Amino acid sequence: LATHFLDRIEKSDLNAFLHVDRALTLAEAAEADARIAAGTATPLTGVPIAHKDIFVTKNWRSTAGSKMLANYVSPFDATVVAKFKAAGMVSLGKLNCDEFAMGSANENSAFGPVKNPWDHKAVPGGSSGGSAAAVAARLAPGVTGTDTGGSIRQPASFCGITGIKPTYGRVSRFGMIAFASSLDQGGPMAQTAEDCALLLSAMAGFDERDSTSLMPEQGGIDEDFSRDLDQPLTGLRIGVPKEYFGEGLAADVAAAVKAALDQYVQLGATLVDISLPNTKLSIPAYYMIAPAEASSNLSRFDGVRFGHRADGYKDLQDMYKKTRAEGFGPEVQRRIMVGTYVLCHGYYDAYYLKAQRIRRLIQQDFEAVLNGPDAVCDVIMGPVAPTVAWDLGSKSDPVANYLADIYTLSTSLAGLPGMSIPCGFGANQRPVGLQIIGNYFAEAKLLNVAHQYQ
C-alpha cells in the first residue's frame, strides 16, 4: 500500500506534498507488517496517512507553509501524529497548506500553490489545500487537516471529498503550529464519512498537554465515531438557515445543495426553516479575533528560538525586523498588523472586546435552534462556500477571500462540529460540498447523516 501511494505521489504534479521520504515511509510500513504478523494490529495498522504541514513531526520537516520554518524539524511529534503512529498508520509525508493556515485557496503557501485535481486551473481551497487535493487525487487514502474558520470544510468542498471539523477541544492542539488558539481544531479528511469516522476515533481524546483539550468530565472521552453510521434518518429534523441561501450564493451551488436536501427528505428527514441572524457579523468578528490571536502566537518567530534568521543585521531590533520581514509572507504580515492594532491600548474595547461579544451572540444563534428541549432541529445544513473553486490567481484581493468564508466562520466561532460532504458539481464541473453542522459533541450524528447520503 505504501509503495502504491508513494509511486502515485512521485508522478503527481499537483504540488500537494512538501516533504516525502520513501525510506522513512517504508520503514514505518515494515513496522506495520511486523505488527500485523505479531497479531497486535489495530484496524488502521498499515493504512497510509499524510499530515498537513501544520502538525509537527519528528522525522519530517514541519514548515507551516512558511519560509520562516522552511528547514525546521521538530524534536517531537504532535499528539495527533503520535496517536496515528501508535495505531500503526504509515506516514506518507507532509502536505502543502496556506502559510500558518491563513487563507482559503492555498495560494498563500511559501512553497507555491496546489492544483485542484478536478481542474488544474482551479484552486483546491484552503488552508488545507494540499490535504484535500491529495485525497481527491488518490495520493493518500486519508489525511489530517486543521480548521480555524473553514480550512477543513472548504477545501473538502472544492475537491469533492469528505472532511470533519470536530467540536473545539476534541482533538489535541499539542504540536499543531498555532494560528488562532481559541478556534484551531484538527480533524480528518478522506473519501467517505466512514473513513473519517475511523480516523477521528483514533485522533480525538483528552490530552493533558493541551490546556483547552476537553477533559473526560467535559466530554473529552474516547469514542467510536462509527457507531451510528447505519442508523436510519427517519424523523431527522434538518435546520435550513435562511441566511445561508441569500444574496451571494451562486445558483449552481444553491441547486446542488437543494438537490441534496431533497434527497434527505426522501430518506425520511424533515426540513425546518431557521434563522441564524448574526451570520453576517461572523466575518468582521473572525477577522479581528483570529488575527489578534495570530499576532500573539506568531511573536515566537523572532529569529532567536527557531526557524529563519536574517543575515547582516545591526542590532537585536534590526535582527527581529529583518527576520520577520523576510520570513513571513504578505498575508501573514497583514494579519499580524491587524491583530496588533485591534489589541492596542485604546482600541481594544472598540474592536477586540466588541468582536468577542459578537462571538457570543453567534454562539447563541446556534444554541437557540440546536440546544435543549426547545431545539427545533437536530442538524443544520447549507452550502460550505458561496461558489465552486475559483481560478488560480483570480482572487487577489484579501477581502474577497475573507467574504468567501461566510458559511464556515460562525461554526468555528461557536466551537461547533461541522463537516463537508460532496453533493454534486457546479460550473465547469467543479465539485460542490454540503455542509452539515451539529450541536457540541454531535460528531457521531453528523457522520451518520453524512454516511446515509447516496
Least Cβ distance, residue 388 to ligand GLN (angstroms): 16
Member of 48, 150, 160, 187 binding ligand GLN (CB under 6 A): 150
Task: Give the span between the Cα atoms of 105 and 96, in whole angstroms.
Answer: 11
62 binds ligand GLN (CB under 6 A): no
Distances (CA, A) of 408 to 165, 411, 422: 10, 6, 16
15 binds ligand GLN (CB under 6 A): no
Task: Give the span between the Cα atoms of 74 and 59, in whole angstroms.
Answer: 8
Cell of 375: 431545539
Least Cβ distance, residue 405 to ligand GLN (angstroms): 5
145 binds ligand GLN (CB under 6 A): no
Considering only the stretches 98-106, 191-199, 249-257, 261-269, report the one whose residues sit in contact with ligand GLN under the rule CB under 6 A. Answer: 98-106
SS3 415: coil
Task: Give the span between the Cα atoms of 134 and 451, in whole angstroms.
Answer: 21
Least Cβ distance, residue 315 to ligand GLN (angstroms): 34
Q: Which is nearer to ligand GLN, 77 or 107 (CB)?
A: 107
151 binds ligand GLN (CB under 6 A): yes
Least Cβ distance, residue 332 to ligand GLN (angstroms): 11
Active site residue 52: yes
CA 180 and chain centroid, separation: 13
Query: Looking at 74, 109, 131, 151, which residue is catalytic?
Result: 151
290 binds ligand GLN (CB under 6 A): yes
Residue 364 contacts by C-beta under 8 Å, 6 or more apart in sequence? Answer: none
Q: Which residues of 378-416 are buried (b: 16+ CB within 10 A; e: fewer)?
A: bbbbbbbbbbbbbebeebeebeebbebbbbbbbbbbbbb
SS3 45: coil
Q: Which is nearer to ligand GLN, 81 or 101 (CB)?
A: 101
> Minimal CA–CA distance to 450: which of 431, 433, 432, 429?
433
Least Cβ distance, residue 401 to ligand GLN (angstroms): 7
Number of neighbouring beta carbons within 10 Å of residue 29: 20
Q: Which is nearer to ligand GLN, 103 or 163 (CB)?
A: 103
Least Cβ distance, residue 64 to ligand GLN (angstroms): 11
405 binds ligand GLN (CB under 6 A): yes
* Element housing 207 (H / E): none
Opening angle at CA 210, ends 206 and 212, nearest 5: 80
| Nearest residue to the partner ligand GLN, using Cβ | 151
Site string for ligand GLN, 356-395 (x = CB under 6 A): ----------------------------------------
Q: Which is nearer to ligand GLN, 226 or 401 (CB)?
A: 401
Query: Looking at 62, 66, 109, 127, which residue is catalytic?
Result: 127
Least Cβ distance, residue 374 to ligand GLN (angstroms): 31
Active site residue 74: no
Cell of 32: 506495520
What is the size of the binding site for ligand GLN (CB under 6 A)? 13
Residue recorded with cell 438537490: 259
Active site residue 127: yes
> Minimal CA–CA distance to 123: which of 395, 434, 398?
395
Member of 63, 104, 157, 162 binding ligand GLN (CB under 6 A): 104
140, 4 contact by CB (below 8 A): no
Catalytic site positions? 52, 127, 151
Residues of this chain that bind ligand GLN (CB under 6 A)? 101-104, 127, 147-151, 179, 290, 405
